[in-house]
Amino acid sequence: MTQGAAGFIVVHILGKAYRVPAGLTILGAMEYAGYRLVRGVGCRGGFCGACGTIYRTRNDYRLKVGLACQTVAEHDMYLAQLPFYPASKARYALDELQPNLATLVRLHPELPRCLGCNTCTRACPQGLDVMEYMARAMRGDIAGVADLSFDCIMCGLCASRCPSEQTQYNVALLARRLYGRHLAPKAEQLARRVGEVAACEFDADLERMAALDAKALKGLYNARDIEA
């Protein structure tokens, strides 16, 4: 199928050609083509990772990946979505774990097989340095993994391209959980505020606010003290 009328392109969705307006995202192109998406679609803002997509463009041997809600459709694009990637997922009780390399390797025994090929980094739609946080995982640097993987949206595209069959995003999730439970400094302000709530110190203020109308609530909100 040729490109056709000006302003339209041809995309191939699951092997079938469709003519769609130029400028649409992959998600928009699929919906314009008549697909009713009940899986592989979520926030539409690049945050949830539900719309991982694999595609190729004509005359390019490379297999590419992206989020369907963020990637603009191209003429002669051949695409298929990965609404769920069947990666291995460890089961554990977080309180029973130690934040160290032994824990990472026990729960993810594939970790030492990492080839350092950087395919995972090239596949990441968030632009994360996935290979670097995997290298830190292999050194037992839990805090480093948690920091570098903080913006991971669990789309699974890194694992879909990995030649050593790693599940990078699950390794990163475990590291973030270990860091948060065992290594991160305790938030004294949070503990203090929880105690204040438990002591019912805000009940009178909440009752007073509940009696206000929408205009008064907006005024109260706009006049609030904001910490520097």
On whether the CB atoms of residues 93 and 103 are closer than 8 A, the answer is: no
On whether the CB atoms of residues 210 and 220 are closer than 8 A, the answer is: no
What pLDDT does residue 222 have?
92
What pLDDT does residue 187 have?
86
On whether the CB atoms of residues 18 and 29 are closer than 8 A, the answer is: yes
Q: What is the pLDDT along the chain (228 residues), one digit of tens a residue?
A: 555 556 999 999 988 999 999 999 999 999 999 998 887 788 888 888 889 899 999 888 888 989 999 999 999 999 988 877 788 889 999 999 999 999 999 999 999 999 999 999 999 989 999 999 999 999 999 999 999 999 999 998 999 889 999 999 999 999 999 999 999 998 889 999 999 999 999 999 999 999 999 999 999 999 988 876
Q: How many residues does the chain have?
A: 228
DSSP code at position 94:
G
Q: How far apart are CA 167 and CA 161, in angstroms?
A: 10
Helix (H, G, I), strand (E, B) or coil at 19: strand
Strands 64-67, 16-21: parallel, antiparallel or unpaired by DSSP?
A: unpaired
What pLDDT does residue 205 have?
92
What pLDDT does residue 1 have?
52
What pLDDT does residue 152 have?
95
